[in-house]
Amino acid sequence: MLLTEIIAKLGGKLVGADINVNSIKSLDLAAPGEITFISESKFLPKIKSSQASAVIIKEEFISDITIPAIVVADPFLYYAQVSQIFNPILQLERKISSSAKIDISCKIGNNCAISDNVVIGKNVVIGDNTQIYPNVVINDNVIIGNNVTLFANISIYSKVMIGNNTVVHAGVVIGADGFGYAPDKKGVRHKIPQVGGVKIGNNVEIGANTTIDGGTFSPTIIEDGVVIDNLVQIAHNVTIGSHTAIAANTGIAGSTKIGKFCIIAGHAGIGDHVNICDYAVVGGLTGVGRDITKPGLYTSSYPFNEFKEHAKIAIRLKSLNDMFLRIKALEDKYNKYFGDNNGQ
Amino acid sequence: MLLTEIIAKLGGKLVGADINVNSIKSLDLAAPGEITFISESKFLPKIKSSQASAVIIKEEFISDITIPAIVVADPFLYYAQVSQIFNPILQLERKISSSAKIDISCKIGNNCAISDNVVIGKNVVIGDNTQIYPNVVINDNVIIGNNVTLFANISIYSKVMIGNNTVVHAGVVIGADGFGYAPDKKGVRHKIPQVGGVKIGNNVEIGANTTIDGGTFSPTIIEDGVVIDNLVQIAHNVTIGSHTAIAANTGIAGSTKIGKFCIIAGHAGIGDHVNICDYAVVGGLTGVGRDITKPGLYTSSYPFNEFKEHAKIAIRLKSLNDMFLRIKALEDKYNKYFGDNNGQ
Amino acid sequence: MLLTEIIAKLGGKLVGADINVNSIKSLDLAAPGEITFISESKFLPKIKSSQASAVIIKEEFISDITIPAIVVADPFLYYAQVSQIFNPILQLERKISSSAKIDISCKIGNNCAISDNVVIGKNVVIGDNTQIYPNVVINDNVIIGNNVTLFANISIYSKVMIGNNTVVHAGVVIGADGFGYAPDKKGVRHKIPQVGGVKIGNNVEIGANTTIDGGTFSPTIIEDGVVIDNLVQIAHNVTIGSHTAIAANTGIAGSTKIGKFCIIAGHAGIGDHVNICDYAVVGGLTGVGRDITKPGLYTSSYPFNEFKEHAKIAIRLKSLNDMFLRIKALEDKYNKYFGDNNGQ
């Protein structure tokens, strides 16, 4: 593909010869015939040893470059878009496998691929150009949009809606019962039925083995453009605002609302009935037990130490309240002898 | 269903007209013709704007109510039970799919539903009224009770027993090898076979994509009435006491014993060979590395902060042992100059 | 099996009669006719009440033993090896199920077992003696070695390589897209294609429902002899060095390199682009956000407390910076009045 062909699709300005490139790689990995990108100035020195034949770069660095370049405002974003051209989502052959079990009441759109051993229940509606990998199970009354990709071994319970262009990775479970019980006097738990389902928007991506529970009365909601990593738990009645990103191993407890354009880092635990405002960033391994009302970065995790050093801190942490009171006592003594300001 | 029909099944006292209701919802969501419930006094004001036609309520609040009511001691528990009437567990059509692969040595009870592509190994015994969703795999020598529901894509290894009325959600893996190795001098790990299997009691519910490993010599045990959320890891040789609840993303390490009626909140990590007594409550994101011998609430997680504020604390935490010693030094100085009690 | 037969395979020295044993169990569980082992001196008293007919033991404890014994340097390692003899990995019947869907372009080795409903895509190569449980899905261009075991419901994306003798437990997902996006000015995320695949070495074991993402340009790498527990997330571009062990619920973020012979305990969270040296040990629930350059034990988790006690510490933790400054002020006052060394 000529650089000018890329520019015709994605914008940018050509500097140098209009050569052909056949792939995009990082500075280290690019081979002759491939284009690379410089997303930060610290990577600029690497261009000298790179074998790339062209580079995506900001205007301000163009004087350092001797190979053909596409000048853009955001080389990292442009790289993602070029890579999408060279590496489109793989498309399964458009056919419905004879081993797929599809209830006669289903409506399947045009140009779908439904693979071996897929099982689809009653009254399921699937849009056009949607592809389903092998061994996916879809229960009754599910609605799936256009251009959706469902990878292998996914389980979708009933009352789930999935929007257009959404990608769900292998092993994901959508719409299982939320974790709700009413304990009796003895502490025996009585199940609270969870019949609200799940509503997933457009352009969402859901990572492998993630679980999204169905709501109690009304749906758990994943809005447009949300991206969720692997092994994430989204509990019942949660709302994830549009374009929020949630990294792996994170859990969001019941009835919590996360705003738009948030970032929740890995291994975070967001408590139940918490409200997090738009544009909040929650650090890794962070527990959030109360609302976040102001954008910004929040964390509860402390740095790791060598065990010996850590143990010393841990033992003093136990005395922290005592230390506080002892400082107060010392201050009071001082003030008694010398007056409050003498020592300043 | 008439309010008196509900009362005939579940108890309670009718106050007002014996009307028909067709569903149960929360105060906000209930529509005309539906019953709602007031579990806490703080929700009482909402009844005025609710469209519900009837309400489940405590005796003490009945004077505030103008619609038909069922008076009970525990409205939240009663709500769960009413909702179970209106929303029973979905029942698959009672048949054995022609695409299910069931070894000839298996014994399948009466009135079971075994769905498409289910694969059942040798000498498996399944009780009556049990339903199995598509693409479940059950290895040899598994015993499953009556009225069990196994959702889609579950994997059950050999030597697993599952009691009556137990519900296992999609993607769960039961009986995989526990994580046991003996390192040699070089540090190379030699696998310790795990042949003890898993024994799961009656009325247990296991959340989606949770994993329960088989024991080394004798079974990992999940007692009656235990409820486990999604993405929970139960390691080999663990015992979970009856009616204990474990929230999502929690891990219980090997050979740990958790008592009865415990609550383990989300994202907790319970170490190996730990004993936790009955009625203990472990907070979210809490690490438990030693025994808990007294009922109560235990936690190890500290509140989150804005990053800037948090960084200040984190840097001082490194000096905590030093701070402790400096307070001690200041106290010693005081005592030297003024005597121990002078400053009090 | 005679004790001398075991010794012929594994080494060790016979003390006492050369009896037959038919299984190996722990001291508590061993029955007559079974052999047991004493791995630590603290278990020595238990031998008196054990019903075992023989014991694996260190030379130094042999005088306490009255039953036939195998004397070895490392009884725990020897136990693992004996147990492997009595409990070899179960072997499926060597046949290819008629319900398996295998693309005609695949090359399947000799003596493989491919179970019901397995789906294998194009150009897949599988070595000899490999066994695949039901409902496994393998996409195009995957290469799998000899003597591999893939348990049920595993999903393998394209561009995955798996070495010899590797065991993958049920529900694992290998090669799903890494979590990579480039945000535009509005914060909308644009997917970065992940086409590097995964390369898994020989003698690796991967726990149930674990996820290993494919790399961006080049493979995510799991070296020989690595053992990974359940529900672990390995992000794109990670390298796990040979013979490292990773316990359950742990997450390793993108582009991180973990050395050889490391131990990562449960529920740890390793940040992105971190380098951890060989022989490092990371404690449970520990967050690692910077490099580890020296072998040793590292942790960031603090002990749990009863909630009341914990709350007192938590509130003082907020004042920790203030406490630090107040100690400094007190010290300065002292020094002003008494000189720096007077109080010592």
Of B84, B153, B266, the CB nearest to A193: B84
How far apart, in whole angstroms, are the C-alpha atoms of residue A36 and residue A51?
A: 9
CA A291 to chain centre: 21
Q: Which residues contact C45 (CB under 8 A, 6 or more apart)?
A: none
Contact B211 C225 (CB under 8 A): no
- CA neighbours within 13 Å on the CB side: how many for B91? 10
Q: Which residue of C has its CA nearest to A211?
A: C209
Minimum distance, in Å, between the CA of residue C56 and any CA atom of chain B = 14
Of B229, B230, B320, the CB nearest to A313: B320
Contact A249 C269 (CB under 8 A): yes
Calculate mean pLDDT across residues A38-42: 92
CB of A171 within 8 Å of a chain C CB? The answer is: yes
Burial class of residue A159 (count of CB atoms within 10 Å of its CB; 0-12, 13-18, 19+)? buried
* pLDDT at residue A343 greater than cutoff 70: no
b/e for C231-266, b at 16 or more Cβ within 10 A? bbbbbbbbbbbbbbbbbbbbbbbbbbbbbbbbbbbb
Check if the beta carbon of residue B192 is closer than 8 Å to that of residue B213. no
Contact B251 C231 (CB under 8 A): yes
pTM of the model: 0.97
As a whole number, the mean pLDDT across chain A is 96
pLDDT digits (tens, 9 = 90+) for B10-33: 999 999 999 999 999 999 999 999
Burial class of residue C9 (count of CB atoms within 10 Å of its CB; 0-12, 13-18, 19+)? exposed
Query: What percent of chain C has a predicted confidence (pLDDT) above 90?
Result: 94
Say which residue the tokens 């004001």 belong to. B45
Q: How confident is the model at residue C30 (pLDDT cuts 50, 70, 90)?
A: very high
Check if the beta carbon of residue C62 is closer than 8 Å to that of residue C82. no
CB of A321 within 8 Å of a chain C CB? The answer is: yes
How far apart, in whole angstroms, are the C-alpha atoms of residue A236 and residue C82?
A: 48
Check if the beta carbon of residue B194 is closer than 8 Å to that of residue B180. yes
- Using CB atoms and an 8 Å cut-off, which of residues 248-307 of chain C contact chain B? 248-249, 261, 266-267, 279, 284-285, 301-307
Q: How confident is the model at residue A339 (pLDDT cuts 50, 70, 90)?
A: low
Inter-chain contacts counted by CB atoms under 8 A, chains A and C: 229
* pLDDT at residue A264 greater than cutoff 90: yes
CA C56 to chain centre: 26
* Residue A344 pLDDT: 43
Q: How confident is the model at residue C334 (pLDDT cuts 50, 70, 90)?
A: confident
* pLDDT at residue A193 greater than cutoff 90: yes
Check if the beta carbon of residue A50 is closer than 8 Å to that of residue A65. no
Of A81, A243, A331, the CB nearest to C187: A243
* Residue C344 pLDDT: 43
Structure tokens belonging to residue C192: 């970065």
* pLDDT at residue C104 greater than cutoff 90: yes
Whole-number Cα distances in Å, B16 to B9, B52, B70: 19, 14, 9
Least confident interval from A81-90, B325-334, C167-176: B325-334
* Residue B339 pLDDT: 60
Q: Give φ, ψ of C330 to 5 degrees.
A: -65, -45
Q: Which residue of C has its CA nearest to B326?
A: C327
- Say which CATH topology domain C154-298 has: UDP N-Acetylglucosamine Acyltransferase; domain 1 (2.160.10)
How far apart, in whole angstroms, are the C-alpha atoms of residue C143 and residue C140?
A: 9
CB of C337 within 8 Å of a chain B CB? The answer is: no
Q: How confident is the model at residue C343 (pLDDT cuts 50, 70, 90)?
A: very low
CA B140 to chain centre: 28
CATH architecture of B3-86: 3-Layer(aba) Sandwich (3.40)
Q: How confident is the model at residue A177 (pLDDT cuts 50, 70, 90)?
A: very high
Output the DSSP codes for A126-193.
E-TT-EE-TT-EE-TT-EE-SS-EE-TT-EE-SSEEE-TT-EE-TT-EEEEEP--EEE-TT--EEE--
* pLDDT at residue A342 greater than cutoff 70: no
Test mutation, A172, A188, A233, A276, chain B, max B CBs within 10 A: A233
How far apart, in whole angstroms, are the C-alpha atoms of residue C331 and residue B330?
A: 7
What is the dihedral angle through the alpha carbons of C303, C307, C309, C310, rounded to the nearest 10 degrees?
50
* Residue C11 pLDDT: 98
* pLDDT at residue C336 greater than cutoff 90: no
Q: CA geometry: angle at B141 spanning B140 and B143, to 5°?
A: 125
- CA neighbours within 13 Å on the CB side: how many for C150? 35
How far apart, in whole angstroms, are the C-alpha atoms of residue C343 and residue C329?
A: 16
Q: Residue C298 forms beta bridges with which residues?
A: A306, C282
* pLDDT at residue A340 greater than cutoff 60: no
Could you say which DSSP state residue B147 is in? S
Contacts of C344 in chain B (CB under 8 A): 333
Helix (H) or strand (E) holding A330: helix A320-338
Q: Give φ, ψ of A222 to 5 degrees.
A: -115, 110
Could you tell me how many residues make up chain B? Answer: 344
CB of B318 within 8 Å of a chain A CB? The answer is: yes
Q: CA geometry: angle at B181 spanning B179 and B185, to 5°?
A: 155
| Strand order through the sheet with B35-37 | B13-15, B69-71, B54-57, B35-37
- Using CB atoms and an 8 Å cut-off, which of residues 6-35 of chain C contact chain A? none
The domain limits of chain C are 3-86, 154-298, 308-338
Query: What percent of chain A has a predicted confidence (pLDDT) above 90?
Result: 94
Structure tokens belonging to residue B302: 């500290």
Helix (H) or strand (E) holding A77: helix A75-86
Minimum distance, in Å, between the CA of residue A269 and any CA atom of chain C = 12
Structure tokens belonging to residue B162: 């599952």
* Residue B342 pLDDT: 46
Dump strand ranges (E) for C63-196.
69-71, 101-102, 107-108, 113-114, 119-120, 125-126, 131-132, 137-138, 143-144, 149-150, 155-156, 160-162, 167-168, 173-177, 181-183, 189-191
Of A170, A305, A330, the CB nearest to C176: A170
Contact B153 C135 (CB under 8 A): yes
Helix (H) or strand (E) holding B316: helix B307-318
Of B231, B286, B288, the CB nearest to C231: B231
Calculate mean pLDDT across residues C248-264: 98
Q: Which residue of A has its CA nearest to B343?
A: A333
Q: Which residues contact A311 (CB under 8 A, 6 or more apart)?
A: none
Test mutation, B177, B272, B294, chain C, max C CBs within 10 A: B177
* pLDDT at residue C333 greater than cutoff 90: no
* Of the candidates B50, B90, B55, B83, the residue with the CA atom closest to the CA atom of residue B69: B55
* Of the candidates C227, C25, C91, A333, the residue with the CA atom closest to the CA atom of residue B139: C91
* Residue C340 pLDDT: 54
With both helix axes pointing from N to C terminus, report the angle between A307-317 and B320-338 in degrees, rounded to the nearest 10. 50
A299-302 long-range Cβ contacts below 8 angstroms, 24+ apart = A299/B304, A299/B305, A299/B307, A299/B310, A300/B301, A300/B302, A300/B303, A300/B304, A300/B305, A300/B310, A301/C287, A301/C300, A302/B302, A302/B313, A302/B314, A302/B317, A302/C300, A302/C302
Question: Which positions of C are catalytic?
Answer: 236
The ranges of chain B with pLDDT < 50 are 342-344
* pLDDT at residue A291 greater than cutoff 80: yes
* Residue C213 pLDDT: 98
Contacts of A301 in chain C (CB under 8 A): 287, 300
Output the DSSP codes for C167-216.
EE-TT-EEEEEP--EEE-TTS-EEE-----BEEE-SS-EE-TT-EEEEBS
Could you say which DSSP state residue C61 is in? G
First-residue to last-residue Cα distance in chain C = 73
ipTM over 0.85: yes
